[in-house]
């Protein structure tokens, strides 16, 4: 990261990642689709806990937890939450106790979904798992559990869904600076940067970081995989505002700066679509890349659609932020076979 462009040193950070993730050119897939040159930012490659984008957020969240003197971290998510898995792994790395509140948000309850994939790793990392119904507020449960632990003398840090607090968003502000530096070194200017939008923190961080560097975030487009597009826009805009306040309170963001599309959501969060299945297959057979069925698979399907419909031309260059989530493939064995 170029500290002269974006200085995050005043925010506490834990060291959880292996350094800048590489940007790779997908030559075969670019030729197969006959569209722009496609590149990927490999945020799936970090070694800790199976890798994935949540580690960027967790560097700042764990840093804040340690600074506050916490000995326990509690977070929330769906049964196959990538964020929960990586929170458990990060807690193990730094010596914090970890509890996960996992809601049954997806109407899939076969053996693979309930006990394989991320949730298998959650237990392996030593986390205490609370399995709650989908109609119960995970965050309310977490706060109640934190209050009980505090009454017993524990010092508890509660982390929100997806780690997407303003502090968590700083991880992707740092990523924006990383992309800016790498693209300058490689002599590439990206016409589109595509991300999956779940809890909104990844896109909010990229947009706020780009603005804080004095650059235009118009190339950044998110595909919602969790909420209807109107709700995703409102949530991500609010998080972008709050992250930007941390970075530079003198700057502001307009609502229309946040671009989110809803065409790939399908029937809802965590539910497979044919476009997602095709995206997984193309990435795997053309490049040996493993997208996940919940986040990157649907967002990459959006990028493919933009290419096929001519929104992106052969002269363009597109960057896909590959956010990880590979362990969830094993939870979706039946849906993908």
Give the pLDDT confidence of 249-293 residue by residue, as tens digits: 999 999 999 999 999 999 999 999 999 999 999 999 999 999 999
User: Is residue 165 flagged as an active site residue?
Assistant: no
- Residue 4 binned pLDDT confidence (cut-offs 50, 70, 90): very low
- The CATH number of 54-163, from 2.40.50.140, 3.30.1370.140, 3.30.420.40, 3.40.50.1100, is 3.40.50.1100
Catalytic, out of 4, 21, 30, 81: 81
Specify the pLDDT at position 43. Answer: 97
| pTM of the shown model | 0.96
Residues of the chain with CATH 3.40.50.1100: 23-52+165-336, 54-163
Specify the pLDDT at position 35. Answer: 85
3-state class percentages of the chain: helix first, strand second, coil last, to nearest 5: 45, 15, 40
Q: Do residues 93 and 48 make contact, with C-beta atoms less than 8 angstroms apart?
A: yes
DSSP strand pairing (128-132 vs 220-224) = unpaired
Query: Using CA atoms, how far apart are residues 111 and 238, in angstroms rounded to an integer?
Result: 38
Residue partners of 286: CB distance under 8 A and separation at least 6: 26, 28, 29, 32
Q: Whose structure tokens read 């996992």?
A: 102
pLDDT in tens, 25-57: 999 999 999 989 999 999 999 999 999 999 999
Which runs of consecutive H residues, i.e. helices, occur in 201-313? Answer: 201-212, 229-247, 274-287, 296-308
Q: Which CATH fold topology does 23-52+165-336 show?
A: Rossmann fold (3.40.50)
């Amino acid at each position: 990261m170029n500290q002269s462009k974006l200085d995050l040193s005043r925010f506490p950070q834990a060291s959880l990642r292996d350094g800048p993730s590489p940007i790779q050119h997908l030559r075969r897939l670019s030729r197969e689709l006959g569209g722009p040159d496609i590149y990927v930012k490999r945020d799936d490659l970090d070694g800790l806990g199976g890798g994935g984008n949540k580690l960027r957020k967790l560097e700042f969240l764990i840093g804040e937890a340690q600074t506050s003197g916490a000995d326990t971290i509690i977070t929330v998510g769906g049964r196959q939450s990538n964020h929960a898995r990586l929170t458990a792994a990060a807690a193990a790395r730094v010596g914090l106790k970890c509890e996960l509140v996992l809601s049954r948000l997806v109407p899939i309850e076969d053996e693979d979904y309930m006990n394989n994939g991320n949730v298998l790793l959650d237990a392996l990392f030593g986390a205490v798992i609370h399995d709650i119904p989908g109609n119960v507020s995970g965050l309310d449960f977490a706060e109640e559990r934190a209050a009980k632990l505090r009454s017993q003398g524990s010092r508890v840090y509660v982390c929100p869904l997806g780690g997407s607090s303003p502090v968590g968003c700083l991880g992707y502000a740092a990523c924006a600076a990383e992309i800016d530096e790498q693209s300058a070194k490689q002599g590439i200017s990206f016409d589109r940067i595509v991300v999956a939008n779940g809890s909104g923190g990844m896109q909010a961080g990229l947009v706020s970081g780009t603005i804080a560097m004095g650059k235009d975030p118009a190339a950044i487009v998110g595909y919602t995989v969790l909420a209807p597009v109107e709700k995703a826009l409102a949530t991500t805009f609010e998080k972008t505002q709050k992250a930007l306040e941390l970075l530079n309170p003198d700057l502001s963001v307009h609502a229309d700066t946040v671009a989110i599309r809803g065409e790939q959501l399908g029937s809802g969060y965590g539910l497979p679509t044919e476009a997602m299945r095709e995206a997984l297959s193309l990435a795997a057979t053309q490049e040996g890349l493993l997208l996940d069925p919940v986040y990157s698979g649907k967002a990459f399907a959006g990028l493919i659609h933009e290419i096929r419909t001519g929104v992106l031309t052969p002269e363009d260059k597109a960057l896909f932020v590959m956010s990880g989530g590979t362990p969830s493939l094993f939870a979706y064995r039946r849906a993908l076979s």
